[in-house]
Structure 1
Amino acid sequence: MRGWGWQAIRAWTLLVYAFMFLPIAVVVLLSFNANQFGSFPMTGFSLQWFVELSQNDAILRAFRTSLLLGALTAAISTTLGVLASLALVRYRVPGENIISTMLIAPILVPEVVLAVALLLFLNFLSLPKSFPLLLMGHVIFTLPFVLLVVQARLVSIRRDVEEAAMSLGASPMQTFFQITLPLLMPAVLAGALFAFTISFDDITGTLFWKPGGVETVPTQIFAMLRNSISPEINALGTVMILITVGLPLLGLAIARKINQKSGA
């Protein structure tokens, strides 16, 4: 009975993974389909939809917007996350538990609720939608992920290493850049990649916060799906999958190399 039980658990796990990842595999497969209707059976292997994708001005503008928005979100969220982690872990801050809870709260609140709340707040302040406000919304949503990753790494860094550097004449600023930051770098890179990937993929908050005429890749896909299902959507989905999966893998490889060098 135990053997049959484990076999059933394994079979159920495989079914769950198949249910989750088979649609993604189908999208990737159909992006190379020569058939313009993007359906089975495939009539041949073709890259024409990627070529047409690269010639679509609306999609290229959406890509540039998403890349710029993701890069700025990663930079701001990482900077604020590192500074907040240092303050909350290394120093005694009045009301630090309340501050930490407030910073992590966006993770606990459903994104659609957070999006509506921020939109209502902007309307209350009579502020029109703009790219800086869209960036602020993405920073609010991604900052908790950076904070949690950096704090987990910072707790494991021994305080006496920093104190030894300061006892040898290093200033707090020199200690941070020469001791703390190199030891913290894997978490900083991981947090930046988290922030970029989440910002690049976000659609719920972006639909509420984006100004008119500004489209990111997810909102552009959503707009294209409302009109018709084009093979270009499959190609665009494949590109997004490569970016959102490839970046974390690249960051993991870089973090491992940094850990190996610091360990050596």
Structure 2
Amino acid sequence: MSGPETEQRPSWGWRVLTALTALVYIFMFAPIIVVVVLSFNAADYGGFPFTGLSFRWFSKLVQNEAIVGAFVTSATLGVLTSLIGTLVAMLAALALVRHRVDGSKMIGLLAIAPLLIPETVLAVGLLLLLRALDLPKTFLLLLAGHILITLPFALLVLQARLAGLGRSFEEAASSLGASAFSVFREITLPLSLPAMFAAILFSFTISFDNLTASLFWRPSGVETVPTQIFAMLKDSVSPEINALGTVMVAVTVGLSLLAGAVSSRLAQQVKTTPEDE
């Protein structure tokens, strides 16, 4: 009787591990909770004590032209980055998974290299290259840099999806006389939609949140939301920064949850293998 009861009790090691895990989660999420709480503080300063509930700092965000302009820039940059990056990632995934390409392993490694290289090193390297070529910093350069950063994430998602699909449906369609484009349009593309949608939303989130590369690559006078927050922090921590941080948290977390939910819903609507029938 005592044996099973003793086995069911958590050991001191598990208790320590649980406590450390809880501390890690508290360390991760406590700053976010503080920012969200202070964004509703009625006080004229961005700190405690909490003097009352107010939404005036959110209304001031809409009235701030610099912040609105930064939101428009970040949204435009995120949409273009996610669409172009996902398209390029889809073509690369098809080449690496569905076709025999010489040096495919090396190409795949080079494609995900931006994920392995520290972002600061990548940003400084591209900036030095531009100076060596005597090229100005433009919005197109910023867009290309964001695509470079988000491409590995989209590629890994799409590669995993295509590898999991198998080639049974595509080979069956080809044997019945369907052209390569018809096979892609009628079979590969619909089955890849969940991964493509997830790649688009994740790429948008990464681009929208990016600070390091944007600081190096943005042209003069162009601000994204993260760089705008960084510029505002040079003066003081105003309540507007807390409100802006809350909006960014809502956008990034909301899009990530939406990506997971919609991708799961789309995955349930398509048949991935013949055994599912």
Question: Is the pair's TM-score, using the shorter chain for normalization, greater than 0.5?
Answer: yes
Of 191-200 and 230-239, the range deviating more from structure 2: 191-200
Which residue of the other structure, out of 216, 224, 240, is the alignment partner of 1:216? 224
**Cross-structure match for 2:264:** 256
Q: Does 1:237 align with 2:245?
A: yes
Which residue of the other structure, out of 125, 132, 143, is the alignment partner of 1:124? 132
Query: How far has the Cα of 1:36 moved from its partner?
Result: 1.1
Query: How far has the Cα of 1:169 moved from its partner?
Result: 2.7
**Cross-structure match for 1:7:** 15
In structure 2, distance between residues paired with 1:151 and 1:247:
22
**Cross-structure match for 1:174:** 182
Structure 2 counterpart of 1:66, one-letter code: S
Structure 1 counterpart of 2:234, one-letter code: R
In structure 2, distance between residues paired with 1:235 and 1:170:
54
Flag the structure with larger Rg: 2
Aligned 8 A contact 2:35 2:242 in 1: yes
- Gapped regions of structure 1 (runs ≥ 5): none
- Gapped regions of structure 2 (runs ≥ 5): 1-8, 272-276
Query: How far has the Cα of 1:61 moved from its partner?
Result: 0.2
Structure 1 counterpart of 2:70, one-letter code: A
Query: How far has the Cα of 1:2 moved from its partner?
Result: 5.7
Query: How far has the Cα of 1:7 moved from its partner?
Result: 1.0
**Cross-structure match for 1:93:** 101
The alignment partner of 2:111 has SS state of helix
The alignment partner of 1:44 has SS state of coil
Cα deviation 1:47-72 (Å, max 9, x = unaligned): 00000011100000000000000000
**Cross-structure match for 1:72:** 80
In structure 2, distance between residues paired with 1:139 and 1:25:
31
Cα deviation 1:11-67 (Å, max 9, x = unaligned): 111011101100100000000000111222211100000000111000000000000
Aligned 8 A contact 2:201 2:256 in 1: yes
Query: How far has the Cα of 1:168 moved from its partner?
Result: 2.2
In structure 1, distance between residues paired with 2:122 and 2:221:
23
Q: Does 1:44 align with 2:52?
A: yes
Q: Does 1:142 align with 2:136?
A: no
**Cross-structure match for 1:34:** 42
The alignment partner of 2:169 has SS state of helix
Number of matched pairs:
264
RMSD over equivalenced CA pairs, Å: 1.2
The alignment partner of 2:54 has SS state of coil
In structure 2, distance between residues paired with 1:260 and 1:91:
27
User: Following TM superposition, where does structure 1 have runs of at least 4 consecutive aligned residues deviating by more than 4 angstroms?
Assistant: none
- Normalised to the residue count of structure 2, the TM-score between the two structures is 0.93
In structure 2, distance between residues paired with 1:94 and 1:260:
35
Which residue of the other structure, out of 158, 164, 179, is the alignment partner of 2:172? 164
In structure 1, distance between residues paired with 2:84 and 2:33:
34
In structure 2, distance between residues paired with 1:2 and 1:50:
47
In structure 2, distance between residues paired with 1:2 and 1:159:
47
Query: How far has the Cα of 1:110 moved from its partner?
Result: 0.2
In structure 2, distance between residues paired with 1:121 and 1:26:
40
**Cross-structure match for 2:209:** 201
The alignment partner of 1:227 has SS state of coil
In structure 1, distance between residues paired with 2:106 and 2:130:
24
In structure 2, distance between residues paired with 1:110 and 1:5:
35
Aligned 8 A contact 2:202 2:259 in 1: no
In structure 2, distance between residues paired with 1:153 and 1:261:
15
In structure 2, distance between residues paired with 1:39 and 1:138:
33
In structure 2, distance between residues paired with 1:51 and 1:34:
13
% identical equivalent positions? 59
Of 109-118 and 178-187, the range deviating more from structure 2: 178-187
